[in-house]
Amino acid sequence: MRLEQLQAFLAVADTGSFQQAAQRCGVTQSAISRQIQSLEAALKISLFHRTTQAKLTIAGDRFLPRAKKICQEWLNAVQDLDDLLAGKQPELCVAAIHSICAYHLPPVLQRFCHDYPDVQLRVTALGSDRSLKVLKDGLVDVAIVMHNRFLMNSPEMVVQVLYDEPIKVLIAANHPLAAHEAVRWDDLVKYPQVVFKDGYGMQRIVQEQFERRGATLRAVLELNTPDAFRGVVRQGELVALLPETALVEAYADPTLAVRSLSSNVAHSDGMIADALTDPPFTRQVVLVTTRDRLQIPPIQHFCNLVSDLLPPKIALPLSIASVK
């Protein structure tokens, strides 16, 4: 059974004439006759009395409302897809890491709401790994996360690099490491660490950095918000490695200190590794979606806005900027 056969059946039933049905459908009368004959053969029963006027049989009369419903559902489905391609969708769901939500996304969200006022934005702050999971599960349309080569290798995924961001050391203002302008790794590894919870990309890349240096990460506490990190670190000995964006509030806090990581590492033989063998510690922030979603105008527009507007320069207080 094909849709054309149902449409031919409805046209004949409505006009009572094979000739008029052919005119309505824009085909020849013989084509309409073949469609009806094929439909009757598939159903194994006659649908019309062949008289001067095409009149429904009992079977045809029983079949009529079903055929109307099937054709209407098809029209509804086509209309839904047309609306989707025209940008008519009820919502757009985004998952992003906390610092992106706090500092980079607001201007993007404002522009998008202005450009697509009928599309409701739903933004959820999640860790990178969790954001990618809900994207794969179809629960969100776009994820803005740290790059993870293990979770982004599906052929349907589209990954756009946005920027690289330095990782720095957050410590209490009276911490011994605060006496240094830049903290060396061999000094940093001596102190207990506060890390992001499992499922956050930062925990993974910090662990990888320690392993690459043959050091043990003494993770004594797991947290998931910059506020929580600041509150714990200012208490004393604990150290945290955080991306620059997550440290904006810390720069203005006199009880905290932010230090860069030294690109040089002292070896046991007294030699110093240069920046080529010990590159700067950064995280790469990327936008991830799927190829099919990029065909939808609001999603494509949102991705373009993110590409155009991220990252804005985060303005620090003048007194802070002058000492960085």
pLDDT at 52 over 50: yes
Concatenated DSSP letters for 45-82?
S--EE-SSS-EE-HHHHHHHHHHHHHHHHHHHHHHHHH
Quick check: 301 and 116 in contact, CB under 8 A? yes
pLDDT at site 98? 87
pLDDT band at 111 (very low <50, low <70, confident <90, very high): very high
Could you read off the pLDDT of 113-168 as tens digits, one per residue? Answer: 999 999 999 999 998 889 999 999 999 999 999 998 777 888 899 999 999 999 99
Provide the residue type at 320 as one letter.
I
Token pair recorded at residue 29: 């009368």
Q: Is the model more confident about 262 or about 240? A: 240
Domains of the chain, earliest start first = 3-85 (1.10.10.10), 91-146+290-321 (3.40.190.10), 163-282 (3.40.190.290)
Residue pair 108/102 in contact by the 8 Å Cβ criterion: no
Q: State residue 99's pLDDT score.
A: 85
Report yes or no: 264 and 180 within 8 Å, Cβ to Cβ: no
Q: What pLDDT does residue 314 have? A: 52
Cis peptide before 311 (omega within 30 of 0): yes
Rounded to two decimals, what is the model's pTM? 0.73
